[in-house]
Amino acid sequence: MSLTRRQYLQALGLGSAGVLAAPLLALEKTRHLQRIGLQLYTVRDLMAKDVAATLAAIAQAGYVEVETAGTGNLSPAQFVAALQDNNLTAPAAHVPFDLMAASPEAILEAAETIGYQFIVLPWIAPELRTLAGYSQVIEVLNTFGEQCRGAGVQLCYHNHDFEFEALGDERAFDVMLRECDARLVQFELDLFWATHAGVDARSYLQADPERFPLCHVKDRTAAGEMVSVGKGVIDFAAMFAAGSGLQHYFVEHDRPEDSLASVQYSIKTLQALRY
């Protein structure tokens, strides 16, 4: 007859609750990120100089996938070639709201060429952050989300902190979660901005894990400064453990002093992380 873990440890004289807690916690933290990605906005200074060289440096650092914010001076076909040269893939792209509303076909054509699985709306302008504005955004997302679904692509929305402000009696983010068709619009949870807004990101990840296939991994000091992953206080192990639906993890830093040094430091932190 096989022993349970508790029975086994009791046989070793380790059965008290106080003694068990730490060893069991250590034993259970064996999961790690299989594929770590980078949002290319982080290295936009390098992308502006030489896209191919930037992708080579990212791959050398250990990243295996990227999320685009444009493809620099390369056409979609040229960008694909540069990705392939460095054994990288691009499963996701940030695309501005105006382009979604005006040129959805062009977005989907680029998605087919590059191989995007996710199209992400990264930001909405301040004038849209009203009841009427969010209604307009939600309508565009649901409409474009249907087009994306037909093309085999998933549409997502990426948050900052302003979505967690009150919109009537609710948070705007909660309104979006409810009013966006769950089949058509999923979410890329930015762990820095959710934390910065005073929200427990884990509660969202746990409540509806399949709604959050993507996340942005960037760190925050106790004083609120954005820093490279590992230099702040965000408990990423707890976040990742809560996010059972997460598929892609994209490192990002909006304003790094040295973009390459930042992404190199961040990936080393994540490669060593267990949760």
pLDDT for the residue numbered 26: 47
pLDDT for the residue numbered 191: 98
C-alpha triplet 110, 113, 116: angle, nearest 5°: 70
Q: Is the pLDDT of residue 10 over 70?
A: no
Q: Encoding tokens for residue 57?
A: 């440096």
Average pLDDT rounded to a whole number, residues 152-174: 97
| Closest C-alpha among 128, 73, 113, 63 to residue 264 | 63
pLDDT for the residue numbered 155: 98
Q: State the helix-helix crossing angle for 131-150 and 172-179, rounded to 10 degrees.
A: 40
C-alpha triplet 112, 115, 215: angle, nearest 5°: 125
| Closest C-alpha among 150, 160, 74, 179 to residue 121 | 160
| Closest C-alpha among 93, 49, 86 to residue 68 | 93
Q: Is the pLDDT of residue 43 over 70?
A: yes
Distances (CA, A) of 51 to 3, 83, 88, 188: 56, 10, 13, 25
Domains parsed from the chain with CATH numbers: 36-272 (3.20.20.150)
| Closest C-alpha among 134, 148, 239, 240 to residue 185 | 148
Q: Tell the residue number behind the tokens 């992404």, with chain if given.
A: 263
- Give the global pTM: 0.90
| Closest C-alpha among 37, 69, 40 to residue 54 | 40
What size, in residues, is the chain?
275
DSSP state of 3: P
Q: Is the pLDDT of residue 205 over 80?
A: yes
Q: Is the pLDDT of residue 16 over 90?
A: no
Percent of the chain clearing pLDDT 70 (strictly above): 90
